[in-house]
Amino acid sequence: MKTPRFTPLVAGLPATVPFVGPEAHIRANGRPFQARIGANESGFGPSPEAIDAMCSAAPDAWMYGDSECHDLREALAAHHGVRPENIVIGEGIDGLLGLLVRMIVAPGDPVVTSDGAYPTFNYHVAGFGGVLHKVPYRDDHEDPSALLARSEEVGAKLLYVCNPDNPMGSWHSGRIIERMLKSLPDGTLMVLDEAYIDAAPPGTAPQIDADDPRVIRIRTFSKLYGLAGMRVGYAIGAPAVIGMFDRIRNHFGMGRVSQAAALAALQDQDWLRRVQSNVATARQRLGQIAADCGMYALPSATSFVALDTGHDGAFAHRLVNALMARDVFVRMPFVAPQNRCIRVSTAPDPILDVFAAALPDALAELDHTRHVP
């Protein structure tokens, strides 16, 4: 046997990944980034209390972490006013999405999402043989009416919606999400990705009963809590849904250091509020940087800002590459017309200073090449 006997499903998948990581770019370029503002990490860092907790837990890293994540689950339940059985913890939102799709989607099952929304969700659906049905954005927002209509049309097992949205930074009020839930087709589970909810204005989070079996909400410590490298995400849902994760999850997937870091970060809400203020200030500065270069910053309820180049996706792609050549890492949406934008993470002023210097230089280079005969 020259190769393993892969399943036809896996053998037929494209050899692609949702994102090329910044480290891969660094290895290809042979030098580090001066501004790493493309992966929606928090340049403001984690709580000092979380850092202390990680250091304290490090000597015990020889032991597996608590398979039930008991202390963190209890703390999250108290924080959200729910019961521990409403909470499951996993290896970031990406890990939880993979488990959820595995639980719900069999080969051929229909799944509805927005065209251009979070690619990793699509990656998991394809990996388990689901059939993606996509609807376009409307005015740079996910379109609730279109998502519901397509879910009804195809009998979707899952309906994915991200609020606030990645990659555009747009958002709907919580009342709109609540109305979506009331109109959800029978048999469809809403996957409400709230990775950026900590950066959103009041009223963005819907008022939903944690025991409602029609929806599962997914959140993370990777964004404003500054723990992307720890890979801690959690879901809030009805016990009948949450309990199913125990049948398939990696019960020792959460390390001791990660659990300690997330628990300490959750307990330091003063630090979270400081980061929220820093993010809001940085969004304003990114808007000014964009305006100074003849670009437009879309309103954002996230820890990043989508900057409208005023051109098409091909131009935005060249701009991303021109910035990369100047050791500035940013990303862009994949699907038109949103791909006219570049997406820039908020960061402390010294990092944004680098971006502010590189952006006009990169734009001047592109303008020059467009006019060369």
Amino acid occupying residue 10: V
Is the separation of the CB atoms in 102 and 248 below 8 Å? yes
pLDDT at 53: 98
- Please say whether the beta carbons of 262 and 225 come within 8 A: yes
**Are the C-beta atoms of 222 and 196 separated by less than 8 Å?**
no
d(CA 178, CA 204): 11
CATH of domain 8-45+270-371: 3.90.1150.10
How high is the pLDDT of residue 64?
97
Interval 92-114: pLDDT, tens: 999 999 999 999 999 999 999 99
| CATH architecture type of domain 59-268 | 3-Layer(aba) Sandwich (3.40)
Q: What angle do CA 173, 93, 115 make, to 5 degrees?
A: 60
Question: 3-state DSSP call for residue 29?
Answer: helix
Q: What is the dihedral of CA 359, 365, 370, 371, to 10 degrees?
A: 130
User: How many Cβ atoms from other residues are within 10 Å of residue 372's Cβ?
Assistant: 5
Answer yes or no: are the C-beta atoms of 300 and 280 closer than 8 Å.
Answer: no
Distance CA 55, CA 75 (A): 20
Angle ∠(280,40,208) on CA atoms, nearest 5: 75
Give me the residue label for tokens 């330091």: 268
Helix, strand, coil abundance in the chain, percent, nearest 5: 45, 15, 40
Confirm if 196 and 223 have CB atoms less than 8 A apart: yes
Sorted by where each begins, the domain ranges of the chain are: 8-45+270-371, 59-268
pLDDT tier, 301 (very low <50, low <70, confident <90, very high otherwise): very high
Q: How confident is the model at residue 29 (pLDDT cuts 50, 70, 90)?
A: confident
Report the pLDDT value the prediction gives residue 170, as an integer from 0 to 100: 98
Query: In this structure, are residues 154 and 187 in contact, taking their beta carbons and an 8 Å threshold?
Result: no
Report DSSP letters for 292-330, one per residue: HTT-EEPP-SSSEEEEE-SS-HHHHHHHHHHHHHTTEE-
Average pLDDT, the chain: 96
* Main-chain dihedrals φ then ψ at residue 244, nearest 5 degrees: -70, -25
Give the pair of three-digit tokens for residue 81: 């006013």
Q: Smallest Cα–Cα separation from 280: which of 306, 295, 298, 300?
A: 300
Helical segments of 204-344, H only: 239-242, 256-267, 269-292, 313-325
How many Å apart are CA 28 and CA 85, to the nearest integer?
45
Q: Check residue 18 and give its pLDDT.
A: 81
What pLDDT is attached to residue 343? 98
| pLDDT at 372 exceeding the cut of 80 | no
Secondary structure letter of residue 247 according to DSSP: G
197 within 8 A of 168, measured Cβ to Cβ: no
pTM: 0.95
CA–CA distances in Å: residue 25 to residues 33, 41, 57, 75:
9, 16, 32, 38
Is pLDDT at 196 greater than 90 in this prediction?
yes
pLDDT at residue 371, rounded to an integer:
54
